[in-house]
Amino acid sequence: MARRSERGLTLVELIVAFTIMLVLTTMAVPLARYKVRRDQERELRWALREIRTAIDKYKDACDANLLGPPEIGTECYPKDLDVLVEGVKAAGSVDKKFKFLRRIPRDPMTNSTDWGKRSVQDDPGSLSWGGQNVFDVYTKSTARAPDGTPYSEW
């Protein structure tokens, strides 16, 4: 004898519900990936801007002779990125230092603080660093932006 008061879902209703959930999930995953990539791109732009601004401020201070005589071959650019964090003694001062960065920003594409560097003497499109100075930085990621440009060219 079947009970009419029992409630529950039939097999067909369960299959339909799971199918709807599957369709919604397959639509959400690409959107989540897209958002994560956009967030990484925004962080990359911010980090590159911060480092490049610090390099420019260092160059301006060096050109104004606020940092003392520049090292030979550096063209008044920092020798490496650590100089921007550690600071440089001011010319004619014993204890005053100019610091241009609090810390080296993390590269969101490689998840490290190891940036690719270019010196003034390097070719503008080069992915190897001559080591004389730091004129520019780029990400070491080999990934490409949605428009096809490599992130290393940003």
Which tens digits make up the pLDDT trace of 9-59?
788 888 999 999 999 888 888 888 899 999 999 999 999 999 999 999 999
pLDDT of residue 5: 64
pLDDT of residue 133: 92
pLDDT of residue 58: 95
Flag whether 2 is in a domain: no
Flag whether 52 is in a domain: yes
pLDDT of residue 114: 93
Flag whether 137 is in a domain: yes
What range defines the domain where residue 131 resides? Answer: 11-153
pTM over 0.85: no
Flag whether 134 is in a domain: yes
Q: Report whether 91 contacts 66 (CB < 8 A).
A: yes
DSSP 118: E
Is the pLDDT confidence value at 8 over 80? no
Please state, in angstroms and as integers, the Cα–Cα distance from residue 43 to each residue in 85, 101, 113, 118, following that order. Answer: 20, 16, 13, 21
Domain count within the chain: 1
Flag whether 34 is in a domain: yes
Report pLDDT digits (tens) over 58-101.
999 999 989 888 888 888 999 999 999 999 988 887 788 899 99
Flag whether 82 is in a domain: yes
pLDDT of residue 3: 61
Q: Give the pLDDT mean for 135-149.
A: 93
pLDDT of residue 78: 94
Runs of H (alpha helix) within the chain? 11-63, 81-86
pLDDT of residue 54: 97
